[in-house]
């Protein structure tokens, strides 16, 4: 199969957790994968874990900078010829009382959780509009759909909630060009973000009484990539967390 026939996905925040799981899932689907992250060392470690050879391209950069998004797409197209899918996965989460957030934390979360999605999506849209096809999937948060008094995380609610609404708006804008835009809103997921000793408490937040595996989030993303007639959807994968109390 030539590089023009093989599908290519760009995944932001691909060096660990959900992003690394997504990279593995897409590679198993036969995709070329372009993984981004701030740390070149961590991306190289991810590349060794994935062991995909030339099918995995690591591009280090800050998701919150427009130059980084431009560089990622330039390198992806130079290596693989095109980009079929963008997964905006890079994100920062901090649970703490709102009054304790410092200006630096606020700016960092805005840069990664909002600007990172906007800049990468702009580059994807410019490329995909010309091809009249493409898929954009945003990783948001179930907490943005259903805040919880036991998990104070206003910045995540505000920014990921904004991305949920932006997902619907961009889906409408890009639909005439054959591009779908959707989101997956995970609940609590078994990643390095959560210490193992916290899992019992976190599991009780979901009606299904457990936390998700990374593979379950990847399955939802792959569903949205496969679903040609689904756009503007925010799909919670949260064990019922966002259904209510």
pLDDT tens digit sequence for 78-97: 999 999 999 999 999 888 99
Predicted TM-score (pTM) of this structure: 0.93
Fold (topology level) of 8-186+213-236: Rossmann fold (3.40.50)
What's residue 191's pLDDT? 75
pLDDT per residue over 34-48, tens digit each?
A: 999 999 999 999 999
Query: Cβ(172)–Cβ(232) under 8 Å?
Result: yes
Question: What percentage of residues in the chain have a pLDDT greater than 90?
Answer: 81
pLDDT band for position 2 (cuts 50, 70, 90): low
Q: What value does the CA radius of gyration of the chain take, rounded to a whole number of Å?
A: 17
Of 1-5, 171-175, 215-219, 239-243, the poorest mean pLDDT is in: 1-5
Q: How many CA atoms lie within 13 A of 32 on its CB side?
A: 23
**Predicted pLDDT of residue 151:** 86
Higher pLDDT, 118 or 203: 118
Q: What is the pLDDT of residue 206?
A: 86
Paired residues of 148 in beta bridges: 151
Tens of pLDDT, residue by residue over 21-37, are 999 999 999 999 999 99
Q: In what order do the strands lie in the sheet with 234-237?
A: 56-60, 32-37, 8-11, 85-88, 134-139, 179-186, 234-237
Q: What is the mean pLDDT of the chain?
A: 93
| Dihedral sign from CA coordinates of 212, 180, 5, 74 | negative
For residues 198-218, give the mean pLDDT: 84
Burial (CB count within 10 angstroms: exposed 0-12, middle 13-18, buried 19+), residue 228: exposed
Share of the chain above pLDDT 70, in %: 94
Please tell me the predicted confidence (pLDDT) of residue 192. 64
Going from N- to C-terminal start, the domains of the chain cover 8-186+213-236
State the pLDDT at residue 141.
94
* pLDDT at residue 128 greater than cutoff 80: yes
Write down the pLDDT at residue 53: 94
């Amino acid at each position: 199969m030539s590089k023009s026939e093989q599908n290519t996905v760009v995944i932001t925040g691909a060096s660990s957790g959900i992003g690394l799981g997504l990279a593995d899932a897409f590679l198993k689907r036969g995709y070329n994968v372009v993984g981004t992250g701030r740390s070149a060392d961590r991306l190289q470690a991810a590349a060794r874990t994935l062991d995909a050879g030339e099918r995995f391209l690591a591009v280090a950069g800050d998701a919150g900078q427009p130059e980084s998004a431009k560089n990622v797409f330039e390198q992806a197209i130079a290596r693989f010829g095109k980009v079929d899918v963008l997964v905006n996965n890079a994100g920062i989460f901090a649970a703490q009382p709102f009054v304790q957030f410092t200006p630096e934390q606020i700016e960092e979360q805005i840069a990664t959780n909002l600007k990172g999605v906007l800049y990468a999506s702009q580059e994807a849209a410019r490329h995909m509009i010309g091809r009249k096809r493409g898929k954009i999937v945003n990783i948001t948060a179930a907490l943005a759909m259903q805040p919880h008094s036991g998990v104070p995380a206003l910045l995540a609610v505000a920014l990921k909630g904004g991305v949920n609404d932006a997902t619907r708006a961009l889906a409408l804008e890009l639909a005439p060009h054959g591009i779908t835009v959707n989101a997956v809103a995970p609940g609590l997921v078994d990643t390095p973000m959560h210490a193992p000793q916290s899992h019992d408490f976190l599991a009780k937040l979901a009606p299904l009484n457990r936390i998700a595996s990374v593979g379950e989030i990847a399955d939802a993303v792959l569903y949205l990539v496969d679903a040609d007639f689904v756009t503007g959807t925010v799909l919670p994968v949260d064990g019922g967390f966002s259904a209510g109390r």
